[in-house]
Structures are given as structure tokens and as C-alpha cells.
Amino acid sequence: MSDIKKIKDEYLNKLDNDLNIESVNQIKTQLFGKNGQISNFFKTLGSLPTDDRKKFASELNSIKDELQEKINSKLREIETKEINSKLVNEKVDVTLPEREINQGKIHPVSQVIDEISSIFSEIGFSVEEGPDIENEHYNFTALNTPDNHPARDMHDTFYLDNNKELLLRTHTSPVQVRTMLNGKPPFKIIAPGRTYRSDSDQTHSPMFHQVEGLHIDKEINMGHLKGCLNYFIKSFFEVDKIKMRFRPSHFPFTEPSAEVDIGYEIKNGKIVIGEGDKWLEILGCGMVHPNVLKNVKVNPDKYQGYAFGIGIDRLGMLKYGINDLRAFFETDYRWLNHFGFDPLDVPSNYRGLSR
Amino acid sequence: MKFTIGWLKEHLDTQIQDNGLIEKLTDIGLEVESYEYLNSDLDNFKVAKIINAEQHPNADRLRICDVDIGQENTVKVVCGAPNAKKDLLTVYAGPGSIIPKNNMKLTVSKIRGVTSYGMLCSESELNLSDESEGITELKTTKYSDKIGKNFFKNKSEKVVDLSVTPNRPDCLGVRGIARDLAAAGAGKLKNISNKNIKKNGSQTIKVSITKEKNQGCTVFGSCLITGVTNKESPKWLKEKIISLGQKPISAIVDITNYVMLDLNRPLHAYDADKIDKEIIVRNSKKSETFEALDNKEYKLGDDMCVISDKSGVLGLGGIIGGTRSGTEINTKNILLESAYFIPRSIRKTSKLLNIDTDAKFRFERGIDPRSIELGLSKAAELISEICGGKTSNFDIQKTDKHEKNKIKFNVSLFEKITGFKVDDNEIVKILTDLGFEVSKKKLELDLKIPTWRPDIIQPIDIVEEIVRIKGYNKIETLEPEKTKIKDTLNKQQKLFHFLQRSVASKGYFETVTWSFTDSKINNLFKENLKEIKIVNPISSDLDVLRNSIFTNLTFYLKKNLDRGFKDISLFEIGPIFKNSKPGEQLTVIGAIKSGKVSRLNWNEKERPVDVFDVKKDVIQTLVEAGYERKSFFIRDKSPSYYHPGKAGSVYLDKDDIEPVAYFGDIHPNIVKKLDIKTEGLVGFEIYLDHLKENKIKLKDQKPNFEYSDYQKSERDFAFIVDKNFKAQDLIEIISSIDQNLIRSIKIFDIYEGENIPDDKKSIAINVIIQSSEKTLEESDLEKINKLIISTVETKSGAKIRS
């Protein structure tokens, strides 16, 4: 009996030493191999009297378990040590550059269109579109600008035929005409898109972007127009307060017509919107002219409402501090990288318009 | 429209300060573009500071000064004054300045080999004192914050520049502006002082307006003034003309211009002695010619309104006079014309002949047809006062009485449109002040419209008059209503926005380029589409609408390569044009990629971009947009601007007629023609209009979730096939063998060369086999193996590689 305890203590001690895997396996054989010391004790079990056998077997088993557990933990310990020492040699320089990812960008015009759509979506507008090539009727005549009207001179038009029948739309307003002709009131739409005028200098580009707005219903008046634009400008520039000024103006397709200025000041060489005593013209608007409603088969005695047109590029320039309009369309890789937006940065109402 | 406040006050009795008037103008819709002093020669003299003064290398007594003139960069000035030293504040005159003392004009000049931009002035040169020893020394206390500002105060009157909208011809005259201001409560409109000039005898030159179709003139008033002495205008008149930035010519011309600017009443003065017998206002005949006052010979068409005499055309009515009957400094007798021409006729003629004059600008917008006599009297009065002479009675020929138009205006319309109420009496007052004749009948006003307001036609125009005079700030700001009539975006629009961001997320920079392009580049990409020319392009290299997005993308790619960028990925989503009618356009994504992948990379091997890079991007974009990869079908056909062997087209389904996308290498000939220098150039296009709308919402698209936990087995095969045999076909053959068991097929090697016949290639594939009912046994696997081999061999003529 004391023999097995002795053996146990002896081997537990041995296993506390600093051993390699071979020596531990050797010990394992010495104890549990065919002729191992513990194995041999098991062989003697059969020759013991029944009473002793039970007691001894139980003791033997517990010692066996204890030794085996010790051996296993020793083996695990050695393995861990060996892996660790190997890892030291596997060290890499993690300050080396990561594998490349090509970061793409969304153009500021696209981002601003998404911002605008998101804001107007909140107050119930849906998005409509129209063709870039228009005929003279949709671009001018239906919009109460007949051929003999001097207001036509305000638009430098690109023509596609010598009869001046086909042209590149000079504004997004023809979408109003198309939308109303194809549907029934009420109408509540915005129409962003490309527009063209044969004008090219520092502040004019032959192509630019506009967003048209149109709200026609039974009782829509100039107060609603003011409210809508006030809401839009505040949301777009992400400010609580905005100084806005409606000035009487003239567009053939609205009556009364207005131009809208917003207040700004220059702080540290940057434009700050919403404060200051300087005015910046940002859009044109008005109540849709009864002649336009008649032209699109809407009864002006029953329905009325407002329309507006905003320069998208200009809004983007103001919000994101871009100085040169022409740069929008010049595809300078450096510019796109600098002013472009992450494609995952989708403007939305619940996540906020911009980061 | 330009005028001075002083001139305005000749018509307006007001206590309001100048700045208040300026603000008021903008408030009532007469937008003030600028309110400034006219440029004067003295504006060239600026307060300046010497930042640094160095010895001139070639002259002992000269110094080279760096001078701060309030602009971004300093200027270099060579100066001989002994007191020119660092930090001195002085007066700088730039090139082009005229020195007051000797009227010498400065130029940029080299002084002993050093270029000097302008000069620093002494007090004597500026006529300030006799001090000529050194340059002017300005006190720091007074001038240190004025660097770059004008040294001389401008003594002229400030000029208001109004941007008058085309509907308001009445405000092209100072009196009209005064009337609007008065109506808005900014003062009182003065009566026109009308000294009754003596009129003697009748106008002896017979005038007639012919009756014919499209006659452009309805009233022609005239008077003869005989025995005048034409001369230089008096000082007050010259100053008025100059103050508006115009040049005085002679008293008679200046007076007619003055009346035009004052009352918006254009006039024309003829030398009466040069008129052959009588005046006939008639339509021109084709090919008639005349020499106009702009010294150009015009060839007329049919039906243009001309003023003529017995010998021919004298002038184009309301547009421009002719040289034959023009007044000169020695003119003795004049015929003064004051007429009404129909705007439509003026516009048509001036457009055809391409003439733009002050008179045309006004008649085209609509002149008051009832201001004929007022104009004649005002001008005759001034002419007799300045040039002497006798004035005849006025001769007025009319074919139209020009009665005032009438409108019935229901007062409630005002509130309905503007959302706020104005008292009826106030409405009456505003309209009366604007020149309307108003009679009130219960809820309605009977209005007679002043003849100087051709823009007012219907009740809505009256609403605008009242609200603009009342002030737009009276309109309430109402909370926006949030009711929605339909979804913000339709399916096609959602797809647009999704694809845009999907492509950008693959490393492409989005760009926006013009819808027009250079026809030379367009020709390389237009395929069988029609070239659409712009009649009046902005420049000859932007002369057509683009038939492909690649036109501008390749152009700008080259520009960026020239800037030193090498690995560029660009895309644009936008219109291309098939033909020149509205709607004949397609929305396309075009993307382009140049250079190498992993250039100068420490752990990956660099290689040029290739067709499979763009194939990955185009396929993945379509998959992200919700289309099923398994049903895509690739054909090796592509437009001719792609490499004939390294490009393909994508069909959403094998049976589709139109491809939704193309991808591949750009044709090397095009790369060469465009002189694009890069290691690789690939691109893709997606045609949004060809993408079928997914009619089913995502929530209804997902099939039930089924999966198998039975063991998977993998088998590798290598088949030897004809060289032009397509991998896609091999995959299709295998996947159709047993869709329940064959879970995936992957090509892991393509081999040509040793041990393979020249016209063959080896395709190695890995197939994963799994049952959803049981664990497959070796015999099952053996069966499917054999089936794969035999099916592929029969269907494709391939041989299993042993």
C-alpha cells in the first residue's frame, strides 16, 4: 500500500522538474506501459482477497487518475512553451503598410442631389425626371414664354436644329409641364437634373444642375411657398436659424414671382450662411402662372400652387466651401478625391444629412 | 438701367436717405445690381506701403521697392526718391495712370535693366503742392488701414444700376422708377413741368402709315423744328449723359437720348432737308438695302417696318436710323419723330438682321403708345431752349387708338394667392398710385390699366402689383405640410442611386462631365448611333452630344495621366444620346480603369489591370443590385471600341436579347489614337434602361431557408477541350447534371502548353457534391463522377485528362 504512495510521490516530484516531451513520455511508459509500475499493480488485483481488492482498486484508480492528469498537464505546458518560443521567431513588422484598398468617391453634385431629395422627401415630395433634349414648346411656349417674348433672351440656348425646334433644356421647368400633362392634381414633386446654357466663364458653365419644385393643390398659397423654402434652406445648411429675403422678380411662368436671398457673412475667409448682413441670391420661385396651368390642362380656378428652381452646384459650393464652379466638371483626380464623398455616406433623415 | 439719385429726385419728392431708396428699390422688385461711383482716372492712385527697398544694381541713386498695394502680391517699382525706404506709406500709380501734373501716361518700363510696374508719386506730381524732392509721405495714423484704397476721393455722383426685368419697360425711364417708389410710400411723384412751347404753323412734310398686313407701326407723331443751331450740349446735359457712362455727341442727339432715359420715350431726329418730299411708314420689300447709323449696310427682307421717303428707306422704325437722313453739327432743320412700334415686329426684324440698339431694347418690351406728344413737347422744348429754332404743330398719324385695357379684379383673389389680407382702401390707393384708374363695385374693382404697363393682362398680375408694393415680408411663413402623394423614388430611380454608390464602393471616383463632347473623340465610340450636332456649340471641340460616356472619360483620364497619376479608376452615370428628339437618350454607367494593380507593392506582385478586374466589378455591381449571378450569361461580343478578344457582354438571362453591360480592354487602336500612355486600359458600361425591374419586393423574394448537414465531398477534374471552348459552357453542362447533388463548381486552373495539343487547353475544376437526404457513400460518389465525365465528354467533345 505504502509502495504505491511512494511511487506516486516520487513521480509527482519528477514531473515537477523541467522536462521535455520525450522524458514525460518515458515516465508515462514507466508508469502505464505494458510493464509499467502502475500497470503491474493492476495485474496484482486479481490475486487479492475480495475485501482488500475493492479498497486497493479504488486507491489505485485515484492515484492513476492523479498521475495521468499530472502528465497531461505537463504535456500541455510543454506544448504551450514550445509554441510560444516558436512564435517569437515568427514576428513580423506590423508597421508595414496594409494591403491596398481603393477608396472610391461620390461626386459632390450627386451627394447634394441626394441631400436635397432626402429633405424634400420628409415633407412629402417625390422625384420626377425629364429628358435633357427638349423641344421649344416644353422648354418655352408651354411655360408662358412665347417666341416673341424678350425673356427668351435671358436664356442662351443650345439648339440642335436650324429651326430652333430642338434644344438642350435651359432649365428643369419643362419637367413641370411633362408631369402635369401626364397626371392629375395634386402635384408635389421635385425634379433635379442637368441643364444647359451657352454661356461659359469663371462663374458660368455651359452645363449645370437645377432642382425644380412644384406643389399644386386647391389652397396652396405664397405662405406655403415661404414655409417650404425656409424649411429646405435650414435643413440643407444644417442651421437652426436662417435669414431669408423674398424679393419681387419676374419669370414668365410664375406670377407673382420672387427671388430669394439668404444672409451670410465672411468669417476667416469662409462664407458663413445664416448670419451677417450680406445677401446672396440662391433661387427663383413664384406662384405658377394661370397660363401655364391652362397649357397643361389644369383648371386655374380650382387649383393653384407654387414652383421654384434652385441651382444645385451653387448650393454645393456654398455648403462645402468650393470656390470654382468649373472645377465640378473638369475631372481633376485631386479635386474629386478632395471634395468627393464616401459611397457609404448616404444622406438620410434618420442618420443625418452629412457627417 | 442706370441713373443717379439726383436725377431720380427731379421726379420724386422724398425725405428718404439715398440708402433707404436703394433698399426700397430692391424691395419692390427693381433689383439694384450696383450703387457706385463711376470709374475715374484718379482711381488709379492707391495708398501703398513700401515693404522693402533695395539698392538698384546698376544705378547709385535708384532703389528697387517692393510695394504693398493691397493685393495678394507686392509690385516692384524702381524709384529715385531719397526718402523711399522700408515701411513708408505713400501714393502708388499703376501702369495706365495719367499723372495729373504733366498728363503723362505710365507704362511698364525697364529702368536700367530692372522692370518697374508703375511709380511712387511726389506731391508735386499729384498737384497737391510744389514739393518735388521726394515721394509723398502719408501719416501712419491716418493711412495705415487704407493700403490699396483709392487715394483721391471720387467727386462724381454715385450711379445706380438697376437690373430691370423684361416685363417692366416703364422702369427703363427714370420717371417710371420714381412712380413705383412713390406708390411704395417712398415719396411723392412730381408733376411734369410742361412749359407750353410756342408752336407755329403746320408740319409740312407729309406723313403716312400704309395700310397693309403686318404693319409694324400704329402711331407716328412728328414736328418740324426749323432754323436750329446744333452744337455741343450744355454742361448740365453733358454731365447727365456722362454720369450714365455714355458719350455726349451733339445737343440734338443728346436731347433725344435724354428724353429716352428720362421718360422711356425713344425719339428720332432727321435732318429735314435730306428727306425726299414725304415720310411713308411701310413694310420693306425683299432685297431693299439701306445704310444704318452703325455704318453697316443692311439687306432687308419682306415685311420689316421701315420709315422711307420718295427715294427709299431712311431707317428701320424703332430700331435704327440711316446715315442718309442723320443730323449733323451743321443741320439747320430737323424732323422729330415720336412713334409706336409693335413689340413683336421689332423683335422679329432685329433678330433677323441681328441688330441690338437702345431703342430696339425698349420698343421690343413695349413703349407707352400714349407718350407720343409728351416726348415731342419735352424734346422740342429743350431743343428750342438750347439750339433755338421754330417748332411746328404736331402731326399725329394713327391707325390704332390704343385705348386703355380693362380688368375686373375680385379683391378676394389677393388673399387666396398670398395668404394675407390687405384692406380694400389700401389696395385702391396702391393701384391708383401706380397709375390705374380704379372704380370700386362691391367686391370687385373695375380697373383701367395704364398704357405704360403692357405686362398687366389678367387679375393675377394685379395680385403681384399689390403684394410687391406691400412687401413680400408681409407673407407669412407656414409650416410645411408633410403629406405624401407618392413614394419619393420610383424603382428605376432607386436603382440609379444604388448602382452609383455600388460602383463607387469598388474604388472608382465618380465624375460629372458635360453631355456634349468633341466629335473627333465621339467618332471613336459612337458605333452605329447618329451624330447629334449642336448648332451653336460653345467651342468647336464641344460640338456634338455624346453617344457614349467613354468619350469624356477617356479624354479626362488622359488629362489625369498627364498630371502624373497612373492607376486611375473613374466612372460617370448619366445620359448618352441615341438621336435628337426628347427622350431618345439612355442612362448609362461608364467606368474606366488604367495602369496597374498593386503597383510598387511590398508583398504583392504588380500586374496591369485586365479584363477580369472590370468583369469582377461589373458582375458584383449587378449582384449587389439584386440580380441573380447564376442566371447571368456572358457572350464574347462587344462594341468595336473594345479589344476584339478581351471583352464581353453581360446578359441577365441567357434568353435575353439585349445585354445589360459590356466590359473589357479598350481597343488598342483607340488608346493609340488618343495618345493615352498607360500599362493597361479597361472599362465597363451598364445600361440602366436595359435592366429589368425586379417586380417583387425583397420581402417576397426570399425562398425558404433550406440547408444540409450531410457530409460534403470534393472531386477535382481536368478536361482537355478545344482552345476556343468556353468555360461558361463547361460549368453549365456540369451544373445541369444533377442540381440536387452538385453544389458548386469552381475553375482552378487553365493550362495550355507542354503535353497538351496546340489547339487544345486543359480546364481544371473542383466540384462539391452534397446530398440533402443522406451521407453519400463511395459508390454514390463514383456514380456521379462517372456521370460528370461522360456527360462532359459527350456534350462538349472534351476528354478527361489522365
Sheet strands (E) in B73-149: 75-79, 89-93, 109-111, 114-116, 119-120
Q: What is the pTM of this model?
A: 0.84
Q: Look at residue B244 in the predicted model and tell me its pLDDT.
A: 79
Q: CB contact, 8 Å: A188 with chain B? A: yes
Identify whether residues B33 and B132 lie together within a single domain.
Answer: no
Of A162, A198, A340, the CB nearest to B510: A340
Rounded to the nearest 10°, the torsion over CA A222, A228, A231, A233 is -90
Tell me which residues of chain A, numbers 69 to 108, contact chain B at a CB-CB cutoff of 8 Å: 96-97, 99-107
Q: Comparing C-alpha atoms, which of B116, B115, B119, B91 is closest to residue B105?
A: B119
Grid cell, residue B728, equals 461558361
Closest residue of chain A to B343, computed from CA coordinates: A148
* CATH at B530: 3.30.930.10
Q: Do both B98 and B246 map to the same domain?
A: no
- Determine the Cα–Cα distance for residues B278 and B726; give it in Å rounded to an integer: 92
Q: Are residues B446 and B577 in the same domain?
A: no
Q: Which residues of B touch A97 (CB under 8 A)?
A: 602
User: What's B732's domain CATH number?
Assistant: 3.30.70.380
* Record: contact A102-B26, CB cut-off 8 A: no
Q: Answer yes or no: do B463 and B533 share one domain.
A: no
Q: Do B29 and A248 touch (CB under 8 A)?
A: yes
Residues B243 and B375 reside in one and the same domain: yes
**What does residue A345 show for φ and ψ, rounded to 5 degrees?**
-85, 75
β-pairing, B607-608 vs B596-597, is antiparallel
Q: What is the CATH number of the domain that holds B310?
A: 3.50.40.10
Answer yes or no: do B307 and B446 share one domain.
no
DSSP state for residue B776 in the 8-state scheme: P
Assess if residue B479 is contained within a domain: no
Residue ranges, chain A, pLDDT below 50: none
Nearest to B510 among A110, A132, A188 (CB): A110
Chain B positions in Cβ-Cβ contact with residue A228 (cut-off 8 Å) = 480
Instruction: Answer yes or no: do B32 and B55 share one domain.
Output: no
B675-734 pLDDT per residue, tens: 999 999 999 999 999 998 776 777 777 778 888 889 999 999 999 999 989 999 999 999
pLDDT in the model for residue B569: 97
Closest residue in chain A to residue B542, using alpha carbons only: A206
**Residue B158 has what pLDDT?**
84
- A332 close contact with B: CB closer than 8 A: yes
Tell whether B132 and B70 lie within a shared domain.
Answer: yes
**pLDDT score of A2:** 62
**Residue B150 within any structural domain of the chain:** no
Which of B660, B690, B720 is the C-terminal boundary of a domain? Answer: B690
Q: Is residue B695 a part of any domain in this protein?
A: no
Residue B176's H or E segment, with its range, is helix B174-183
How far is the C-alpha of B755 from the C-alpha of A124, rounded, in Å? 70
Kindly list the residues from chain A whose CB atom is less than 8 angstroms away from the CB atom of residue B533.
160
Q: Which helix (H) or strand (E) holds B669?
A: helix B668-673
Judge whether B201 lies within some domain. no
In terms of domains, do B239 and B385 share one? Answer: yes
8 Å CB contact of A102 and B486: no
Q: Which helix (H) or strand (E) holds A44?
A: helix A37-44
Boundary (domain end) residue, out of B471, B500, B525: B471
Domain residue limits at B569: 491-690
Query: Residue B789's pLDDT is what?
Result: 93
B327 part of a folded domain:
yes
- Inspect the interface and report whether the beta carbons of B472 and A304 lie closer than 8 Å: no
Nearest to A331 among B501, B511, B585 (CB): B511
Same domain, B515 and B648: yes
A92 to chain B, minimum CA–CA distance in Å?
Answer: 12
- B-chain residues within 8 Å CB-CB of A224? 419, 478, 480-481
pLDDT at A187: 96
In a domain, B502, yes or no: yes
Residues in B touching A248 (Cβ below 8 Å): 27-29, 464, 467-468, 472
Task: Choose from A92, A127, A241 for mutation: most chain B CBs within 10 A.
Answer: A127
Residue to mutate among B26, B164, B463, B464, with most A CBs inside 10 A, is B464
In B, minimum Cα distance to A151 occurs at B166
Inter-chain contact B167–A250, Cβ cutoff 8 Å?
yes
Please tell me the distance from the alpha carbon of residue B53 to that of residue B62, in angstroms, as a whole number.
10
Which residues in chain B are contacts of A331 at CB distance < 8 A? Answer: 511, 513, 552, 556, 559-560, 570
Q: Burial code of A29-67, b = ≥16 C-beta within 10 A, e = fewer? A: ebbbeeeebbeebeeeeeeeeeeeeeebeeebeebbeeb
d(CA B515, CA A132): 9
Domain assignment present for residue B485? The answer is no
Give the number of other Cβ atoms within 10 Å of residue A147's Cβ.
13
CA distance A332 to chain B (A): 7
| In a shared domain, residues B23 and B70 | no
In CATH, what number is assigned to the domain containing residue B105?
2.40.50.140
> The domain spanning residue B173 has which CATH number?
3.30.56.10
Which amino acid belongs to residue B424? D
**How many domains would you assign to chain B?**
6
Does the beta carbon of A109 lie under 8 angstroms from any beta carbon of chain B? yes
Find chain A residues with C-beta within 8 A of B501's C-beta. 106, 343-344, 346
Between positions 236 and 255 of A, the ones with CB within 8 A of B are 245-250, 255
Are B619 and B504 within one domain? yes
Would you call B577 and A132 a contact, using CB atoms and an 8 Å cutoff?
A: yes
Is B200 contained in some domain?
Answer: no
Q: Distance between CA B131 and CA B126 in Å, rounded?
A: 10
Q: Low-confidence residues of chain B, pLDDT below 70? A: 39-41, 154-155, 194-195, 695
